[in-house]
């Protein structure tokens, strides 16, 4: 079944070609609706399964996109805000699917690092991240805490990128 899913996703990606944002956006929208269903009807296992399926498909597409030459050659250059929104989605899913919290939290962290690596580093961005309640499921994680410590104190939000400190600079 898993091989069939990857085959279908590969066909999906081939069909859309450089329009990679469209299937990502569609899976994001589906997952957002499914999160609401899981919260409203937690005793219906099909809703949780549908959410898992959408997120797993989204993750597969993101991994292909994140690590492939197609992203580099694509006309659709992704900025930190786009990666941040998807990281936030996975953080929310980690809370909605408590039985798989660790897996979705890990994915959220990978995507958050991706956001930061492509420029989600302004004081305004970091301030928003530090106050975004959707990331509450990640706040007790060591890697999330280290990530937040890698930015200097933020007296006020500006649009100027912040220089992160690395662990060797602490």
Whether the per-residue pLDDT at 13 is higher than 70: the answer is no
Long-range contacts of 57-61 (CB under 8 A, 24+ apart): 57/5, 57/9, 57/27, 58/24, 58/27, 58/28, 58/31, 58/86, 59/90, 59/107, 60/5, 60/6, 60/9, 61/9, 61/12, 61/13, 61/20, 61/23, 61/24, 61/27
pTM confidence score: 0.74
pLDDT band at 11 (very low <50, low <70, confident <90, very high): low
Higher pLDDT, 79 or 89: 89
pLDDT band at 9 (very low <50, low <70, confident <90, very high): low
Do 138 and 109 touch, CB atoms closer than 8 A? yes
Whether the per-residue pLDDT at 75 is higher than 50: the answer is no
Mean pLDDT over 87-94 rounds to 94
**Percent of the chain whose predicted confidence (pLDDT) is above 70:** 69
The pLDDT tens digits of the residues spanning 27-49 come to 889 899 999 999 999 999 999 99
pLDDT band at 2 (very low <50, low <70, confident <90, very high): very low
pLDDT band at 165 (very low <50, low <70, confident <90, very high): low
Mean pLDDT over 136-156 rounds to 82
């Amino acid at each position: 079944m898993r091989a069939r899913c990857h085959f279908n996703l590969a066909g999906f990606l081939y069909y859309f070609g450089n329009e990679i944002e469209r299937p990502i956006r569609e899976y994001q929208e589906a997952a957002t609706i499914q999160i609401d269903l899981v919260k409203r009807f937690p005793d219906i296992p099909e809703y949780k399964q549908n959410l898992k399926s959408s997120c797993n498909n989204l993750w597969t597409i993101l991994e292909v996109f994140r690590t492939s030459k197609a992203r580099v050659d694509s006309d659709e250059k992704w900025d930190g805000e786009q990666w941040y929104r998807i990281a936030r989605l996975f953080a929310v899913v980690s809370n909605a699917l408590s039985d798989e919290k660790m897996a979705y939290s890990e994915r959220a962290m990978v995507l958050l690092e991706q956001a930061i690596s492509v420029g989600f580093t302004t004081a305004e961005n970091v301030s928003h991240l530090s106050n975004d309640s959707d990331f509450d499921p990640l706040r007790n994680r060591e890697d999330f805490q280290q990530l937040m410590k890698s930015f200097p104190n933020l007296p006020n939000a500006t649009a100027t990128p912040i220089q992160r400190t690395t662990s060797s600079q602490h």
